[in-house]
Amino acid sequence: MPPKGTGAILTYHSIDQSGSVLSIAPELFAWQMSSLSRAGIPVVPLKDIRNHQGAVALTFDDAYRNFYTEALPVLRRFTYSATVFAISGEGRAQLGPGSSLPLMTWDELGEASRCNIEIGAHTVGHPRLTSLPFEQACEEIAESQQEIRRRLGVPADSFAYPYGDSSPALRDFVRERFAQGVGVRLDYLAEEDDRADLPRLDVYYLQKQKLFASLFSAGVRRYIQLRRAARELRDHANFLQRSRPLR
């Protein structure tokens, strides 16, 4: 029986063997997809996730080439849809730990989009949007949306904030232009969510097969809640450290 309750958006970055915080091993990814299938959990497009109780939507940030080589064949086997959030500029230098990994070319993005994969916008250069002047941040968002449409001939209706970093004004901007925006707040979906800043479950926290296999159980929900609390505490401590006056 499919689980009851609200659904979840899963976040992946790179599908590779490196074991980095951004990576899920290809075999584990394939196991996770078959686990969803065995559990009868529907995998639905991101645009539909809020209308499906107990369903999952799959998202892949940054559009690493290994999405094309490792994830796409598995998704096709299960006929699962997914959303890939692509940077429209070069952007590689600012991507952090995964920065040396190649990104998908426009041709590969185009091919993916013809295989039931939605290509969402993820800015031009992957900046922390709130660190930019507002106008410039809006340009990053709008230009990446236009470039995807221009290059691929399909609309980009979903947006992901780099690092999940947003402000009320930026969320207003995204709400006007996109059907949905996603952040990095670690949570399942809820009725009252802002569609311009939907929470997601980073699969980094669900690497243990036992956890992934019972994604919607009360136990895993509690575990996610604890991880969120720990993360918020850590972010707060980092914030305090950053805002300490320099002497």
Minimum distance, C-beta of residue 69 to Zn ion, in the bound complex (Å)? 19
Strands, DSSP E only, in the chain? Answer: 8-12, 14-15, 23-24, 56-61, 82-86, 117-121, 158-160, 180-186, 198-202
Least Å distance, CB 74 to Zn ion, is 21
**57 beta partners:** 9
**Interacting span for Zn ion (CB under 5 A) from 51-59, 134-142, 155-163, 168-176:** 155-163
Nearer to Zn ion, 54 or 171 (CB): 171
* Residue 88 and residue 121 in contact, taking contact as beta carbons nearer than 8 Å: yes
What is the CB neighbour count within 10 angstroms for residue 225?
A: 13
Q: Show the site string, 159-188: x = touches Zn ion by CB under 5 A, - = not.
A: ---x--------------------------
Shortest spacing between CB 61 and Zn ion, in angstroms = 4
**Region near Zn ion per CB under 5 A, out of 70-78, 101-109, 157-165, 187-195:** 157-165
Comparing CB distances to Zn ion, the nearer of 61 and 202 is: 61
- What DSSP string runs through 168-227? HHHHHHHHHH-SEEEEEEE----TT--TTSEEEEEGGGG-SHHHHHTTTSHHHHHHHHHH
120 versus 162: smaller Cβ distance to Zn ion: 162
- Of 228-247, binders to Zn ion (CB under 5 A) are none
Residue 154 is encoded by which pair of tokens?
A: 């399909």
Binding mask 36-65 for Zn ion (x = CB under 5 A): -------------------------xx---
Q: State the nearest-atom distance from the C-beta of 240 to Zn ion, in Å.
A: 25
Dihedral, 196, 201, 203, 209 alpha carbons, nearest 10: -150
Q: Give the integer Cα–Cα distance in Å for 97 and 203.
A: 17
- CA neighbours within 13 Å on the CB side: how many for 76? 12
Told to check if 147 binds Zn ion by CB under 5 A, we report: no
Report in angstroms how near the CB of residue 205 gets to Zn ion at its nearest: 17
Size of interface with Zn ion, in residues (CB under 5 A): 3
Distance CA(43)–CA(27), nearest Å, equals: 19
Minimum Å gap between C-beta 8 and Zn ion is 19
Q: For Zn ion, which stretch binds (CB under 5 A), given 21-29, 101-109, 156-164, 191-199?
A: 156-164
Q: Minimum distance from CB of 162 to Zn ion (Å)?
A: 5
H helical segments located in 79-129: 106-113
> Could you give the 3-state DSSP secondary structure of residue 160?
strand
User: 45 vs 162, which CB is nearer to Zn ion?
Assistant: 162
User: Which positions touch Zn ion (CB under 5 A)?
Assistant: 61-62, 162
